[in-house]
Amino acid sequence: MIYGIPTYDLPLMAAVAFLSYLIGSIPFGLVLTALSGNGDIRKIGSGNIGATNVLRTGRKGLAAGTLALDGTKGAFAVFCAFVLCPFHTLAAESLAAVFAVAGHCFPVWLKFRGGKGVATGLGCVLALMPGVGLCCCALWLIFAKVTRISSAGAIIAFAALPLLMIRPGRIDFSSPAYVAGCLIAVMILIRHHANISRLLKGTEPRIGQKSA
């Protein structure tokens, strides 16, 4: 057994993971820009389907909608796990969080070329660990505002996530929530490898800056 989950419950866990992946893989940025007549977001700016690149279309409302929906789908995946798994709930929610972010970053519909998982990751963490999620949101907003670079805020927030999850006087590295948080952080930081390179070179675009 893993985290006390008996073998007969593993199919339910697999269903939670699959459902969460499907929820996470909904490309709201792509859908919203297409419906608004702004074309294919993958052919604009960085080609990313997330809110930061949607903002480069000049449509702030569209970017805000993308941010909200991407965050909501992460929280919704965790909520579905809560409803579907009255037993082993924390393990199911943690599994849902990881697969929702994986779905956003690697959606099968887009040949596994998705977004960078920031909004979806924040939505998952807020649902799974509200206090930690709020701290991550605060770090992201503060550093994004100070630097005018969204990726800088995201990188700082998720690099700090494993530390933020450590409770005072208690380090439970084996907790499914802690493992999920670390996996989400690693996934998002890997998706930002190009941003990290540009930040080091001083060529990372700033918030609202349009790209060809």
- Condensed to tens digits (0 to 9), the pLDDT of residues 100-122 reads 999 999 999 998 999 999 999 99
Half-sphere exposure (Cβ direction) of 174: Cα atoms closer than 13 Å? 3
Residue 20 has pLDDT above 60, yes or no: yes
- Give the per-residue pLDDT at 87: 81
- How far apart CA 119 and CA 111 sit, in angstroms, is 21
Using the 8-state DSSP alphabet, how is residue 204 labeled? Answer: P
- Give the per-residue pLDDT at 92: 94
Count of CB atoms within 10 A of residue 68's CB? 14
Reported as a pLDDT band with limits 50, 70 and 90, residue 6 is low
- To the question of pTM greater than 0.75 for the whole model, the response is yes
Which CA distances in Å does 210 have to 45, 53, 149?
7, 9, 13
Tokens representing 209 are 């800056």
Say if 131 falls within a structural domain.
Answer: yes
Q: Which domain holds residue 102?
A: 8-201
Say if 161 falls within a structural domain.
Answer: yes
Residues making up the chain, counted from first to last: 212
Q: How many structural domains comprise the chain?
A: 1
Q: For residue 200, with 0-12 CB atoms within 10 Å meaning exposed, 13-18 middle and 19 or more buried, which class applies?
A: exposed
Say if 212 falls within a structural domain.
Answer: no
Percent of the chain with pLDDT over 70: 92
- How far apart CA 101 and CA 103 sit, in angstroms, is 5
Residues 51, 55, 60, 63, Cα dihedral to 10° = -20
- Give the per-residue pLDDT at 1: 44
Say if 209 falls within a structural domain.
Answer: no
Contacts of 48-57 with CB under 8 Å at 24 or more apart are 48/115, 48/116, 49/110, 49/114, 49/115, 50/115, 50/116, 50/118, 50/119, 51/119, 52/150, 52/151, 52/207, 53/29, 54/29, 55/207, 55/208, 56/205, 56/208, 56/209, 56/210, 56/211, 57/33
Say if 124 falls within a structural domain.
Answer: yes
Say if 211 falls within a structural domain.
Answer: no
- φ and ψ of 111, to 5 deg: 55, 35
Contact (Cβ atoms closer than 8 angstroms) between residue 17 and residue 182: no
Query: What average pLDDT does the structure give for the chain?
Result: 89
- How far apart CA 65 and CA 63 sit, in angstroms, is 5
Say if 143 falls within a structural domain.
Answer: yes
- Give the per-residue pLDDT at 210: 53
**Which amino acid is residue 187, in one-letter code?**
M
Say if 17 falls within a structural domain.
Answer: yes
